[in-house]
A = this chain, B = another copy of it.
Amino acid sequence: MLLAQSSWMEVEEYLKRSKSILVPVGSIEQHGPNGLLGTDAICPEVIAKRAEQLTDMLVAPTFSVGCAQHHLAFAGTITLRPSTMIASILDWTASLQRHGFERIYWLNGHGGNVATVNAAFAEIYAQRSFSSAVQEQDILLKLQNWWQFESVAALCKQLYPVGDGQHATASEVAVTYAAYPDAQKQVQMQPKIAPTGTITHAQDYRRQFPDGRIGSDPSQASVEDGKQIIQAAAEAVAAEFERFAKS
């Protein structure tokens, strides 16, 4: 069930049987020569939409722009400052709590979001922790990176034993190609596998990684691989969401 395509009455109905919701959270940032700027938002979104077909799950709209300051030296990247992202996550959460949601599962597509999302969780919990009053409504927040399920990691390793990489990975590009086959781009990678290093600010990033990739050869990506990864990830998400909803 997709929140954006539901009516408020349908969501009210859903809340009678579940207090849990999934929010895909991504980033708009360069993903190398053949990767899409929307990769990190597209991946959790398509996985969530597939998972939603496997279990009773409400999927919120995608929180699409995240923390991508380090990619700003590449055209098209859009970022929030961490402080803005924290404020935004507070508002999304307060809105969902208003309706009675007590379990929010953030399915994440971008490693650079992890610190800030967890800081936001602490900010939300802190509001509650500063009070010694007993509060009726509970709240549980969970962040899950889609590529870190064991089954998914194993599949990616099998598909791309060499050059899956750290940024603009073959596996994430494959997922987006499965989602938007027309957006595939044929680019010769130079060098075949990109260098690795440490991430700081945008100018330093571009100096180290001139075409945007880190450790990857995403020219390996294919629609077929992407479909497999989406299916594996969706199954893992559906199963974990069910456990989370009951926790």
Chain A interface (Cβ < 8 Å from any Cβ of B): 3-12, 15, 28, 30-38, 41-42, 60-65, 67, 69-70, 72-84, 86-88, 90-92, 94-96, 98-100, 112, 114-120, 122-123, 125-126, 128-132, 134-135, 138-141, 180, 183, 185, 187, 200-204, 212
- Report how many copies the assembly holds: 6
Q: Quick one: given A4-B28, A87-B87, A95-B78, are A33 and B61 in contact (CB under 8 Å)?
A: no
Please name all residues of chain B whose beta carbon is closer than 8 Å to the beta carbon of A73 when the two chains form the complex. 129, 132
In the complex, how many angstroms separate the beta carbon of A44 from the nearest chain B beta carbon? 13
15 contacts between A and B (CB under 8 A): A8-B75, A12-B75, A41-B61, A63-B65, A67-B122, A69-B130, A75-B100, A81-B122, A82-B119, A83-B83, A83-B86, A86-B119, A119-B119, A128-B202, A128-B203
Please name all residues of chain B whose beta carbon is closer than 8 Å to the beta carbon of A38 when the two chains form the complex. 3-5, 61
Whether A76 lies near B6 (C-beta < 8 A) is yes
In the complex, how many angstroms separate the beta carbon of A19 from the nearest chain B beta carbon? 12
Whether A91 lies near B99 (C-beta < 8 A) is no
Whether B122 lies near A69 (C-beta < 8 A) is yes
Choice from B35, B115, B118, B130 contacting A72 with Cβ under 8 Å: B130
Known: A4-B64, A61-B78, A69-B122. 7 other contacts (CB 8 A): A4-B37, A6-B37, A6-B183, A7-B35, A65-B92, A78-B96, A95-B130
